[in-house]
Structure 1
Amino acid sequence: MKQYIQLANEEIKRSFKIYVIAVLVMAAIELVSVVVKVKLHERRIEDYLKSNTATLYEAFNDIGKITFVDAASLFSYITMIGMVLVLIYTLQIWYRDWIGETKYIYRLLMLPGNRASIFFSKLTTVFLIIMSFLGIQWCLIQFGNQLFNWLVREDYKDISNLRSIGSTLGELFSLNLTNLFIILAVALFIVSFMFLLVLIERSYRKWSGFIRVGVEIFIIVICSVSSIYFLEQTKLLLNSEKAYVLTGLFVLYFAYVIWRSLRLLKWKIAV
């Protein structure tokens, strides 16, 4: 346990600066986008009034009022970019240990004790990054909403639309604990599966490793598609029972991913 905590702390330190920079850049883009969208809407209204000598009511009928959904349109794209960066980091957190003159991975592999601490320290780091990113995004949405309400005059707001954020992003950042648990569980599984692919590639010779990675991806795709198709076609189970079966299969495969990753790290990856 002590070795795991030390390794996790080391991984977090190695990733902290670039993570903070990425979050600050994305946060700045999101908040600035809210201000820009609000100002552009006001400018369109003002230009319309000047060029058409129309009333404010006519301008709203033609151009429309603004909602936070309109002002926060970039939030969804930034969230997607953040997810892609996390996936890239999931690969980079392993491969950076093999890159460079120091070959940091050899120092890790020669440490006394169970190599499982190496795997779980990296998994913990990525998982904490995912959790913190989701939390920061949720806070930015709340702050962005307050900024929007402060910038926009009441008569410019579309009060008929009470949504504070788009449907997709709203589901993602709702306070529903069930949704949050599902998102984190799926994210943890994806990260673990990518860890497995990296360890497979690193455990065998170049072409053999890539072939085995392809086979592993093919197996999970076939198993997933066939399981979903079978459950959709069968009339023997209720919808709730189908959900339990899918959850059980998910847990079993997740356990397999962890078991095989630890086995490869212990027996196949050599110094």
Structure 2
Amino acid sequence: MKQYIQLTNEEIKRSFKIYVIFVLVMAAIELVSIIVNVKLHERRVEDYLKSNTVTLYEALNEVGKISFVDTTTFYSYATMIGMALVLIYTIQIWYRDWIGETKYIYRLLMLPGKRISIFFSKWTTLLLIIMSFLGIQWCLIQIGNLLFNWSVRVDYLDKDSHRTLGSTLGEIFSLNLTNLFVILAVSMFIVSFIFLLVLIERSYRKWTGLLRMGVEIFIMIIFTVAGLYFLEQTKLLLNSEKMLVLTGLFVLYFAYVILRSLHLLKWKITV
């Protein structure tokens, strides 16, 4: 346990500066984009008033009022960029240990104790990054909403709008704990599966490794498609029972991915 904590702390320190820079840039862009969108809307209304002899009420009916949802485009972009960077980092967190003159991976593999600590230190780091990213985005949405209400003119505000954040963004940043748990579970499955592919590639010769990676991806696709098709076609189970079966299959395959990764790290990865 001590080794796991030490390795996790080391991984977090190696990632901290880049992560903080990304979060600060993301926060600045998202919050500034709200002000910019509000000002652009005001400019459109003013331009319409100048080019047409109409009242403010008529101009707003033509141009439209603005709601907070109209200013959250960059939140969606930032979330997608964040997800993409997490996927890249999931690969890089392993390969950086093989890159460079020091070959940091050799130091890790020669540490006394079980190699399971190496795997779960990286796994935990990704979990913390994903959780903190979602939490920070949620906080930025709340701050952005306050900033929007402060910067927009009362007459320009669409008070009757019942729109929520985009369907995907809304699901991610809702206060529904079930949604949050599902998102984290799926995210960590993807992280674990990428870990497995990296360890397969590192465990075998080039073409053999690539072939085995292809087989693993094929198995995952077949497993997913077959499971979903069976649950969709069968009429023997209730919807709640189908969800229970689907969850069970997911947990089983998740466990297989982690156990296979640990087996490769213990027996196939050599110094």
| TM-score bracket for the superposition, by shorter chain length | over 0.9
Corresponding residue of 1:76: 76
Tell me how far 1:27 sits from its aligned partner. 1.0
Aligned residue identity for 1:226? A
Q: Distance in 1 between matches of 2:251 and 2:221?
A: 16
Q: Distance in 1 between matches of 2:145 and 2:167?
A: 15
Corresponding residue of 2:48: 48
Q: Distance in 1 between matches of 2:231 and 2:175?
A: 30
Q: Distance in 2 between matches of 1:64 and 1:242?
A: 45
Q: Distance in 2 between matches of 1:269 and 1:150?
A: 57
TM-score for both structures, normalised by structure 1:
0.98
Q: Which segments of 5 or more consecutive residues in structure 1 lack a partner in the other structure?
A: none
Corresponding residue of 1:112: 112
Corresponding residue of 1:93: 93
Q: Distance in 1 between matches of 2:166 and 2:260?
A: 40
Aligned residue identity for 2:10? E
Corresponding residue of 1:137: 137
Deviations 1:187-244 (A, max 9, x none): 1111111101100000000111111111100110011001101110011111110100
Aligned residue identity for 1:229? Y
Tell me how far 1:162 sits from its aligned partner. 3.2
Q: Distance in 2 between matches of 1:167 and 1:148?
A: 20
Aligned residue identity for 2:38? V
Corresponding residue of 1:262: 262
Tell me how far 1:14 sits from its aligned partner. 0.3
Corresponding residue of 1:242: 242
Aligned residue identity for 1:144? G
Corresponding residue of 2:229: 229
Tell me how far 1:105 sits from its aligned partner. 0.3
Q: Distance in 2 between matches of 1:169 and 1:228?
A: 25
Q: For the Cα contact (< 8 Å) 1:69–1:163, is it kept in 2?
A: yes
TM-score for both structures, normalised by structure 2:
0.98
Q: Distance in 2 between matches of 1:29 and 1:253?
A: 39
Corresponding residue of 2:176: 176
Deviations 1:39-74 (A, max 9, x none): 000011111111112111111111100011101121
Q: Distance in 2 between matches of 1:139 and 1:257?
A: 33
Aligned residue identity for 2:229? Y
- Secondary structure of the residue that 2:65 maps to in structure 1? coil
Q: Distance in 1 between matches of 2:71 and 2:114?
A: 51
Deviations 1:66-104 (A, max 9, x none): 011101121111101100000000000000000011100
Dislocated runs of 4+, deviation >2 Å: 162-168
Q: Which segments of 5 or more consecutive residues in structure 2 lack a partner in the other structure?
A: none
Q: For the Cα contact (< 8 Å) 1:145–1:164, is it kept in 2?
A: no
State how many pairs are aligned: 271
